[in-house]
């Protein structure tokens, strides 16, 4: 079964990118003296230890690999010296650093309310409108969002994520499936030339190194949510943590679970100038 797929909005598999066995075969250990705790995968560096302080970096490298770079929109063809790039929700800032290295003649800005965890925006419509407001006419916006839910989940993961959905939707009015409505929100905001696709990412060892990184990211999310979720499950903290461990160690591989990573980019309409004589 494939590790990554490229899809259009109708959720049909349109391109087979690679498979888990090939990914495993391509992991080679090189001289990592300059980059401790990293291995190479298809000529790119990947963390070998997925500890909490490496989690955000690990996720960045995984997504960079499956997306075949740091962006999917035609930035390279449109960018010029003096342009500015804004990363909203920059996390560790790794993407900003790499973009600044790739385009040394532009200014790259990044901000985030938290250096470690992504911020969920309940009012996405107004958030996208605000992004459009600060974007220059003719500028490009590119957004990456996780679907929020695992697919082909086993019984344990189903129970945990159903509880997660209930808690998040009732206490914070957050739609975890928002990523599926990105095109609608962009159209309402007035963007043009909208392109949307998604990648299915394996969760667990069955997906090779990328699958392990994605599974660890899932684990950290649910461990972080433990204080909010356990009151709704009737489980003790130890019981909850054991279930999460069982999901990551066994169930994800048994059911070949995966998650969808949505990508959308669009342009802000260029200004129209009217001349009066």
Q: Which of 2-11, 141-150, 235-244 has the lowest mean pLDDT?
A: 2-11
pLDDT of 84 reads: 85
pTM > 0.85: no
pLDDT at 77 over 50: yes
**What residues does each domain of the chain span?**
2-267
What's the chain's Rg over C-alpha atoms?
Answer: 20
Is the Cβ–Cβ distance between 50 and 216 less than 8 Å?
Answer: yes
C-beta atoms surrounding 246 within 10 Å: 14
How many whole angstroms separate alpha carbon 135 and alpha carbon 84? 10
pLDDT of 172 reads: 67
2-267: CATH architecture:
3-Layer(aba) Sandwich (3.40)
How many whole angstroms separate alpha carbon 131 and alpha carbon 129? 5
C-beta atoms surrounding 92 within 10 Å: 18
Banded pLDDT at 12 (limits 50, 70, 90):
very low
Write the pLDDT tens digit of every residue in 109-167.
887 765 443 344 456 788 888 889 889 999 999 998 888 789 999 999 999 999 988 88
Banded pLDDT at 234 (limits 50, 70, 90):
confident
Is the Cβ–Cβ distance between 194 and 262 less than 8 Å?
Answer: no
């Amino acid at each position: 079964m494939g590790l990554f797929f490229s899809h259009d909005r109708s959720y049909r598999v349109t391109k087979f990118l690679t498979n888990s066995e090939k990914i495993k075969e391509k992991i080679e250990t090189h001289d990592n003296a300059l980059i401790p705790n990293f291995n190479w995968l298809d000529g790119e560096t990947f963390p070998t230890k997925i500890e909490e302080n490496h989690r955000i970096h690990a996720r960045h490298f995984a997504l960079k690999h499956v997306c075949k770079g740091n962006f999917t929109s035609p930035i390279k063809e449109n960018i010029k010296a003096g342009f500015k790039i804004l990363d909203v929700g920059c996390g560790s800032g790794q993407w900003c650093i790499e973009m600044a290295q790739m385009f040394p003649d532009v200014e790259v800005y990044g901000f985030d309310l938290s250096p470690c965890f992504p911020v969920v925006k309940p009012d996405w419509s107004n958030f996208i409108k605000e992004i459009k407001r600060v974007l220059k006419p003719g500028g490009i916006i590119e957004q990456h969002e996780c679907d929020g839910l695992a697919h082909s989940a086993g019984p344990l993961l189903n129970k945990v994520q159903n509880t997660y959905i209930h808690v998040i939707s009732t206490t914070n009015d957050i739609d975890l499936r928002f990523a599926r409505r990105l095109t609608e929100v962009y159209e309402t905001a007035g963007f043009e030339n909208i392109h949307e696709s998604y990648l299915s990412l394996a969760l667990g060892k069955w997906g090779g190194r990328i699958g392990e990184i994605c599974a660890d990211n899932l684990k950290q999310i649910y461990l972080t949510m433990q204080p909010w979720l356990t009151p709704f499950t009737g489980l003790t903290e130890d019981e909850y943590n054991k279930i999460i461990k069982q999901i990551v160690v066994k169930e994800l591989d048994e059911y070949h679970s995966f998650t969808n990573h949505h990508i959308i980019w669009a342009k802000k309409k260029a200004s129209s100038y009217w001349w009066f004589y």
